[in-house]
Structure 1
Amino acid sequence: MFYQVLKYVLLGPLLRLLFRPRVEGLEHVPEEGAAIIAGNHLSFSDHFLMPVVLSRRITFLAKQEYFTGPGLKGRLTAAFFRSAGQIPVDRSGKEAGQAAIREGLGVLAKGELLGIYPEGTRSHDGRLYKGKVGVAVMALTAGVPVIPCAMVGTFEIQPPGRVVPRIRRVTIRFGEPLDFSRYAGMQGQKAAVRAVTDEIMYEILALSGQEYVDEYAAKVKDAGSAAPRRKFPRR
């Protein structure tokens, strides 16, 4: 109920008024049935702007830190994400990744839309980074299509570290559903899930027009350096 109130009464109308999102390819999002929407992640605002333009409810796998922050701000943030039905994900270690996959499969088993950012974290410089394979494992295990999505302009309105967004128009593009039935039963094979993940990232890249870096975003952040631009690996 809170999700609907938030979307149609409280936050949704305000976001539409302020950012006037252009929406392209919305017809590619199925009206019913399970599917994964995989997008680039440029801004904290992405969590709110994508759901606003979708007629269906979407559940995101959100980083656990949104649910465990200290002080009044942390409690309010946690209450907001829980009330909106978002799922906390511990991003530390292999077992944490398996837990996230189980949670995501639970959403898909109910015939719902699952939102995921394959990069695993926000881009710190506006470029698109290498995707993690969890999205491929879930798509192949559940046998569902993946709809690529590109957020365009959200980095400019609210890059990491900026609290109050700038008021500018943004664009949200959805691509055609990707069918990976040819990889059915291969979710345990590293080469297969890497190929599926790269195909998803290629389609996001085509929609967003970003520069691509063939490194994990978290690794580049930890290194504290600007990774050179890399060509996308050939399919």
Structure 2
Amino acid sequence: MKKYFLSVLFIFCFLLTSCSPKVEQKDTTNTTTKETNFSSKNTESKHQIYAAILNSKLGPITYYNQNDIRWYDYLYGKKDPLSIYGCGPTVVACLVSSFIDPSMTPDKVADWAYKKGYWASKEGSYHSLMSSGLSSYGFQVRGISSPSKEEILSSLNSGHILVALMGKGHFTSEGHFILILDVTKDGGLLIADVNSYENTKKPWKIETIVKELKKNATANGPLWEVSLPEKKSSSK
């Protein structure tokens, strides 16, 4: 009887595990690197007010940092602090506040992204935040799924800026959104890293950026070319 019971139990357990639904892998930027992006030599306080205007191919850009004392502990999706999971909303806020609505801040974008379904619990944001999300605000967005050095330079020299999803390397160990704003005379890339002002202040070798772009990005990433919204002609 005991052997019979064990046999039935084994069969039941086998059926239970084999019939369990597979969990679909989330299409997200996994920003679980938290604060490892900051240089150990950086003496600035992470939780401070960041106030900077950066030059870009589209014009002046308001620099926001997800560690800013005004919103670093604001809960994205009512669960996840912006200082850890908020690179997506912070990048979007930089663009929207600079060219569309000056009152827009990372916490406001986080609320909007959550309501629109771009938030992924404990992982960050769906990649589509940079495609359909920015388009919802009026920006013209073109995904670049197979980026190259030549295409990045061509895009910048044509007057665009780029959102880049970075993979393991200098910026993150998982996934992190940054902005590529301009190119120097020496061919270095000027960026906005919303998790590190130190990274923002220096040019980066284009080879480094291309090498560290996230390989398995979706929503036509890991690069998104961003143009200003088309001006609506006024009716006479």
Report the TM-score when normalising by structure 2.
0.31
More helix by share: 1
Tell me which of the two structures has the higher relative contact order, counting C-alpha pairs closer than 8 angstroms and 6 or more residues apart. Answer: 1
Larger-Rg structure: 2
